[in-house]
Amino acid sequence: MTLALPPLPYDYDALEPFISAATMKLHHDVHHRGYLDRVEALVRGSALEGQSLEALIRRSSGNPELRSLYNSAAQAWNHAFFWRSLRPAGSAGAPPQEIAGRIAADFGGQQQCLDAFRSIALAHFGSGWTWLLERDGRLCIEATANADSPLGRGGVPLLVVDVWEHAYYLDYQSRRGEYLTAVLGHLLDWDFAQRNLRERSDEVHA
Ligand code: MN
């Protein structure tokens, strides 16, 4: 089953008090599952059936006739990546040495990186995602609109934060800034970012 809903990598209440169990249940069990269900319905019986999410995203990206498939597949992939970008409250540590050095070189320091992340996420109009990426050998922060994912555009995603309103409305109503302060300050999994950076480096040097 290539399109099975991946379980959360922690308990529903692991992100409290920053993100509630109620938000996580709705977000994972309803929103994330819903995107996968739509992908399955769209590919059933077609030549695309059985392909991985990554393959479906690359196949449908930029194709107006496959826009619905792209939106649902990208949303499913983005959500799985988002869960892994976070870790239980109280367990988050500082970035490992290698990525900390890259952050210092490209942003001037950890705080500047987080400030840039927050201001780009806060300024993004409407639904979307904010990413820490490696692009052309540099780390950068970029926002994507709606379902858009950096997959297939040459950037390597390291971390993502969901800025769709469904990610924070139950806990923060429309106060996206408070949600971002909580997530960026307490929940980012820098070990995950480091692993993504290293896997990419292995690929490049292979
Ligand atoms: Mn979401």
Going by pLDDT thresholds of 50, 70 and 90, the confidence category of residue 2 is: low
Name the residue with tokens 């819903």.
Answer: 34
How high is the pLDDT of residue 154? 76
The rounded Å distance from CA 108 to ligand 1 centre is 30
How many angstroms does the Cα of residue 48 sit away from the middle of ligand 1? 25
- Distance between Cα 162 and ligand 1 center (Å): 6
134 phi-psi bin (left φ>0, alpha ψ -120 to 50, beta other):
beta
| pLDDT tens string 91-136 | 978 899 999 999 999 999 999 999 999 999 999 999 999 999 999 9
State in Å: Cα 101 to ligand 1 middle.
30
Task: Report the chain's C-alpha Rg in angstroms.
Answer: 17
The pLDDT > 70 percentage for the chain reads 96
Instruction: Give the distance (Å) from ligand 1 centre to CA of residue 22.
Output: 14
Closest CA to 103 of 142, 123, 132, 129: 132
Give the model's confidence band at 155: pLDDT under 50 very low, under 70 low, under 90 confident, else very high: confident
pLDDT, tens only, 39-58: 999 999 999 999 999 999 99
- 184 and 117 Cβ atoms separated by less than 8 Å: yes
| C-alpha 123 to ligand 1 mean position (Å) | 18
For residue 7, report the distance from its CA to the centre of ligand 1, in Å: 15
Centre of ligand 1 to C-alpha 202, Å, is 30
What is the per-residue pLDDT for 59?
93
CA 206 to ligand 1 centroid distance, Å: 34
| Residue 113 alpha carbon to ligand 1 centre in Å | 23
Total-model pTM: 0.95
Query: What value, to the nearest 5°, has the Cα angle with vertex 145 and ends 173 and 143?
Result: 90
Residue 205 has pLDDT above 50, yes or no: no
**Model confidence pLDDT, tens digit, residues 14-44:** 999 999 999 999 999 999 999 999 999 999 9
Q: How far is the CA of 183 from the centre of ligand 1 (A)?
A: 14
Residue 201 pLDDT class (50, 70, 90 cuts): low
Quote the ligand 1 centre to 205 CA distance (angstroms): 34
Rounded average pLDDT over 131-158: 91
Q: What number is the average pLDDT over the span 4-23?
A: 97
Ligand 1 centroid distance, CA of 204 (Å): 31
For ligand 1, the distance from its centroid to the CA atom of residue 34, given in whole angstroms, is: 11
Cα gap 202→186, rounded to integer Å? 29
Q: Which residue has the higher pLDDT, 153 or 19?
A: 19
